[in-house]
C-alpha cells in the first residue's frame, strides 16, 4: 500500500500501523534564548516558500503515531521553508497534552512527543509531591522563532529557527499560585525543589537543557531542544 504523502489527523493511525518501529531524532546543535522582552534581531521579512508535504518518512510517521497513541491531540503541519535558513520540518501544532500550555507554535514531532511526556510524567507528579496539588497551566515563551541564538544580530541560528526548541517560564497551580523560573529558582524551598526536579527530568528527555544556572540569559526559563546528546546545564 502506498503511504500517503500528507498525514491528516483522521487517517494518522491507519497510515502508520504498517510502519516498522523506528527512533525519532532531532537536528544537532545547542540552542539558547535571551529575555523574551528584548527585541530580537531578525532578517527583513521574506515571502515564504510554498509548503511541501510532511511526515513522508517512516521515522516521522512513527513519531506521529507514537504521539497519537499517547493520547495527545495535535495537527500535523506542512513542511515550511521560512527563508533565511529557518524552517519547520515534520512539525505539529499541539492542541491538548493534558495540561493547558501557553504559546505553543510549530514543534518538531520528537520535541512535541518528549514535551508532552515531560508534562504528563514529570510536571504533574512533581506538583503533587512538592505542593500537594495539580498544575493547571504550563507557561512558555514559545517555540518557533526565526532568529539567531540569544536573539543576536550575528551567530548561528537558534534551534527555535527550526521549530526544535521550547522555552518554559513557569507553572500555575490549582490554588492560583504561579511558580516561575524568575524568582522560584532561588525562592522558597518547595519552589526550588520542584523546579530542580523538573530540570533533572528534562535532562533525561531532551537533547539539550539550559536553565538559570547556565547563564544570565536563561534566568527566567528552561530551554529544551532535541539537538545535542544530553547536554544539561
pLDDT of 92 strictly over 80: yes
DSSP 8-state secondary structure symbol assigned to residue 9: G
Residue 106 to residues 92, 183, 203, 217, Cα–Cα distance (Å): 6, 28, 22, 23
CA–CA distance, 24 with 43 (Å, rounded to integer): 31
Question: What mean pLDDT, rounded, does the chain reach?
Answer: 83
Indicate the pairing of strand 231-232 with strand 208-210: parallel
pLDDT in tens, 211-233: 999 999 999 999 999 998 889 99
The pLDDT of 112-130, averaged and rounded, is 98
Residue 48 grid coordinates: 515564504
Q: For residue 44, what is its C-alpha cell?
A: 527583513
Which of 136, 137, 156 lies closest to 146, judged by CA?
A: 156
Q: What per-residue confidence (pLDDT) applies to 155?
A: 78
Q: What whole-number distance in Å separates Cα of residue 20 and Cα of residue 36?
A: 41
d(CA 106, CA 103): 10
pLDDT higher than 70, residue 179: yes
pTM above 0.85, yes or no: no
- Rounded to an integer, the average pLDDT of 57-82 is 96
Amino acid at each position: 500500500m502506498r503511504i500517503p504523502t500528507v498525514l491528516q489527523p483522521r487517517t494518522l493511525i491507519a497510515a502508520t500501523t504498517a510502519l516498522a518501529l523506528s527512533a525519532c531524532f532531532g537536528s544537532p546543535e545547542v540552542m539558547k534564548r535571551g529575555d523574551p522582552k528584548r527585541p530580537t534581531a531578525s532578517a527583513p521579512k521574506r515571502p515564504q516558500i510554498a509548503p511541501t508535504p510532511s511526515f513522508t518518512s517512516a521515522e516521522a510517521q512513527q513519531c506521529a503515531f507514537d504521539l497519537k497513541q499517547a493520547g495527545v491531540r495535535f495537527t500535523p503541519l506542512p513542511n515550511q521553508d521560512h527563508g533565511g535558513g529557518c524552517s519547520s520540518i515534520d512539525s505539529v501544532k499541539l492542541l491538548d497534552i493534558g495540561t493547558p500550555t501557553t504559546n505553543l507554535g510549530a514543534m518538531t514531532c520528537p520535541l512535541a512527543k518528549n514535551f508532552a511526556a515531560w508534562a504528563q510524567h514529570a510536571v504533574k507528579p512533581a506538583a503533587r509531591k512538592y505542593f500537594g496539588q495539580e498544575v493547571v497551566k504550563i507557561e512558555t515563551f514559545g517555540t518557533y522563532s526565526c532568529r539567531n541564538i540569544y536573539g543576536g544580530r550575528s551567530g548561528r541560528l537558534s534551534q527555535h529557527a527550526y521549530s526544535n526548541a521550547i522555552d518554559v517560564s513557569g507553572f500555575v497551580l490549582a490554588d492560583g499560585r504561579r511558580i516561575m523560573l524568575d524568582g522560584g529558582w532561588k525562592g522558597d524551598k518547595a519552589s526550588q525543589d520542584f523546579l530542580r526536579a523538573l530540570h533533572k527530568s528534562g535532562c533525561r528527555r531532551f537533547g539539550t537543557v539550559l536553565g538559570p544556572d547556565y547563564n544570565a540569559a536563561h534566568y527566567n526559563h528552561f530551554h529544551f531542544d532535541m539537538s545535542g546528546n544530553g547536554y544539561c546545564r
